[in-house]
Amino acid sequence: MSETASSTVSPRLGAAQVAALPDAVLIDVRSPIEFESEHIEGAINIPLESLESRFEEVPRKGQLIMVCRSGKRAERGAYTLMGRAFQPKVLEGGMLAWRQAGMPVKEGKKRLSIERQIQLVVGTGVLTGVILGAFVNPLFLIIPGFFGAGLTFAGLSGTCALGILLGKAPWNKLEVPGAAKECKKSSCCN
């Protein structure tokens, strides 16, 4: 998206301007894990991937301000909502600019985003496969080929199997406040 296209479609605001808006409704389009790590107080988390199907949760009153880490996903979210007759604006620079401006941030448990976890897994797998293929057995070069095929499929289909798998990993589960853990008599919890 070019600078001229984004400015005519969704005007950008600085962090100080957003904080000064009395009727601002902040929609954070980052993943729930990113949102839990840090977010602007009062922001509503509707991940970009589900914004189209959950647009009815977006309030119709107040000035909508789209937020993400750097502003790119927020801009895509603004385009999505404009197709639903909303007039959103984008927080220029996202959470990075908000923090840099010294604005208040509600912090939670720090976690690596799914995207960074994918990068780590793929990078480690490719590097390991290349090293093993060069020094142990050329058949290990199948490993980087596997990751390359997976990335190609993800790019073509818009579906990342590794991302889905990592999203289900126990360390990526969000804790629900007030949810009691059930323990059976034979479990390790007793």
Residue 79 — very low, low, confident or very high, per pLDDT cuts 50/70/90? Answer: very high
The pLDDT, as a whole number, for residue 185 is: 44
- 179 has pLDDT over 70: no
For residues 61 and 102, the answer to whether their CB atoms sit within 8 Å is: no
Kindly report the pTM of this predicted structure: 0.69
What residues are annotated to the active site?
68
Residue 150 — very low, low, confident or very high, per pLDDT cuts 50/70/90? Answer: very high
Nearest to 110 by CA among 34, 178, 55: 34
Rounded to whole angstroms, the Cα distance separating 87 from 81 reads 8
- 93 has pLDDT over 90: no
| CA separation, residue 92 to residues 5, 25, 27, 50, 103 (Å) | 14, 15, 14, 22, 14
pLDDT tens-digit readout, 56-70: 999 999 989 999 999
For residues 79 and 107, the answer to whether their CB atoms sit within 8 Å is: no
For the chain, percent of residues with pLDDT exceeding 90: 56
- 161 has pLDDT over 60: yes
Rounded to whole angstroms, the Cα distance separating 61 from 177 reads 28
Q: How is the chain split into domains, by residue range?
A: 10-107, 114-172
CA angle, residues 175, 180, 182, in degrees to nearest 5: 115
Q: Which residue has the higher pLDDT, 132 or 31?
A: 132
Nearest to 38 by CA among 99, 92, 119, 85: 99
Q: Which residue has the higher pLDDT, 184 or 150?
A: 150
Q: 10-107 — its CATH code?
A: 3.40.250.10
The pLDDT, as a whole number, for residue 178 is: 52
For residues 123 and 144, the answer to whether their CB atoms sit within 8 Å is: no
